[in-house]
Copies of this chain bind each other. A is one copy, B any other.
Amino acid sequence: MTDINRQITLNSRPDGWVVPDNLSLVEGKIPEITAGEILVRNLFMSVDPYMRARMNDVKSYMPPFQIGKVLEAGVVGEVIASQNSEFNLGDIVVGMLGWEDFSKSDGSGLVTVTRGPLPLSYYLGILGMPGMTAYAGLVDIARAQPGEVVFVSAASGAVGSVVGQLGKIIGCEVVGCAGSDDKVDYLVNDLGFDRAFNYKTCGSIAKKIAELCPRGIDVNFENVGGEIMEAALWNMRDFGRIALCGMIADYNNKDMTPGPRGMGVIIQRRLKIQGFIVFDNPASNREFVQKAVTWLQQGKLSYRETIIEGLENAPAAFIGMLKGENFGKQIVKIA
């Protein structure tokens, strides 16, 4: 085993869209561990939209990434050295670790999962934060009910694809949008969405939603913000709920973008807009993972990943994901 530990660090803060030069590949040594610590060989890492927000120097629910420091990601790894009695050699752990070959940790925030019939990378997607986020937003926040109309933006993404399928399991009518015809086909033919459209080619998004949701929308699971959120807002029914999960359309804007026009409908139709993050309700997360393992094995949940090989390709995977180039959950295979 080589003693080199490759790492991806933040070279400079992006000014608008992330460019390759904002990230650096550096080589260090494998960290040494002391009492209470473990050494993890990282197997898979996740790239996600929220990371873009952490590249700005703005305080949020997670601290901003620091220039010159290794970036963080959701990681699945194997414990290869342990001075912590809660972790044994060979344990598979999931949690926030570095964009790097090897991470050391005191174990806080890491959970141990068992190797089973499902791929370990699933713990970064449908069995990880994206899947839990979908469940928290649709079930806990929006309280989607059987027979209601659910609209999901970024519907083929890691979160959206689970939202739509959960909606069908609940008994909702599910409509989604995505950024290519292939993705739209995937939503309807593979994931069981009732209807879907390509927001890049449909013309007026608001009119398209009105056409596909003639009764209006009861629950909007909002991943995108901007024009898509505005169009969904205008199509909400009385007492509708918007679970606000992401506003990826804004993350790359240097200036603060204004909110949707016509917010008076929030009053007229007595709408509720609620922001949430996945860490707020651990009980809900556990409940979801338990159910999802069963649903996956029964074929009630379908899941798609795009896996790119090699830590050195993580920056390209991240930039591509921000531009919507991935199909399903974007994963980087490190080892």
In the complex, are the beta carbons of B267 and A246 less than 8 A apart?
A: yes
Count of this chain's copies in the oligomeric assembly? 2
Q: Which of A237-262 contact B (CB under 8 A)?
A: 244-247, 250-251, 256-262
Cβ–Cβ contact A268 & B225, under 8 A: no
Partner of A271, one of B247, B260, B274: B274
Contact B247 A267 (CB under 8 A): yes
The interface residues of chain B lying within 8 Å CB-to-CB of A268 are: 60-61, 275, 277
A60-B268, A256-B261 are known; give 15 further A-B pairs, CB within 8 A. Answer: A61-B268, A225-B263, A244-B263, A245-B267, A247-B267, A250-B264, A258-B259, A259-B259, A259-B260, A267-B277, A269-B275, A270-B275, A270-B280, A272-B273, A273-B273
C-alpha gap A245/B264 in the complex (Å): 9
Instruction: Using known A-B contacts A267-B245, A271-B275, determine if residue A260 contacts B258 with beta carbons closer than 8 Å.
Output: yes
Interface size grouping (class) on chain A: 20 to 34
Instruction: Name the contact of A244 in the complex, choosing from B53, B251, B267, B277 (C-beta under 8 A).
Output: B267
**Is A257 a contact partner of B246 (Cβ separation < 8 A)?**
no
Is A122 in the interface zone, CB < 8 Å from B?
A: no
Interface residues of A (CB under 8 A from B): 53, 60-61, 225, 244-247, 250-251, 256-277, 280
For this complex, 11 residue pairs linking A to B, each with C-beta atoms less than 8 Å apart, are: A245-B267, A250-B263, A259-B263, A265-B275, A267-B275, A267-B276, A269-B275, A270-B275, A270-B277, A272-B274, A272-B275
